[in-house]
Amino acid sequence: KAEAEAKAEAETKANAENEAKAEAEAKAKAEAEVEAKAKAEAEAKAEAEAKAKAEAEAKAEAETKANAENEAKAEAEAKAKAEAEVEAKAKAEAEAKAE
């Protein structure tokens, strides 16, 4: 009888140890999942930030290009205006000379 009780106690102890081991493994697995989720979220955030930065840079480049084009257009208009003034002056002088 004592041997049977000792055997039963040993089995109960072994079961309790197995349950504790299973619980520890489940806890470790849950913690690993939480870490993996946090890592994935951090990576997604980093990707979103990189995308936003790239978009901001592309926008800045487009604005710089547009400004350069506007400046070139303004310069061309100013040059054309100056040439027209030179022509008008030359015409006026020619007319005055003809008179």
Q: Is residue 87 part of a domain?
A: no
pLDDT score recorded for residue 1 = 83
Distance (Å, whole) CA 46 – CA 81: 52
Q: Is residue 85 part of a domain?
A: no
pLDDT score recorded for residue 48 = 99
pLDDT in tens, the chain (99 residues): 888 899 999 999 999 999 999 999 999 999 999 999 999 999 999 999 999 999 999 999 999 999 999 999 999 999 999 999 999 999 999 989 887
Q: Is residue 67 part of a domain?
A: yes
Q: How many CA atoms lie within 13 A of 77 on its CB side?
A: 6
Domain carrying residue 49: 1-73
Domain count, the chain: 1
Q: Is residue 68 part of a domain?
A: yes
Q: Is residue 97 part of a domain?
A: no
pLDDT score recorded for residue 59 = 99
Q: Is residue 82 part of a domain?
A: no
Q: Is residue 89 part of a domain?
A: no
pLDDT score recorded for residue 97 = 86
Q: What letter represents residue 57's amino acid? A: E
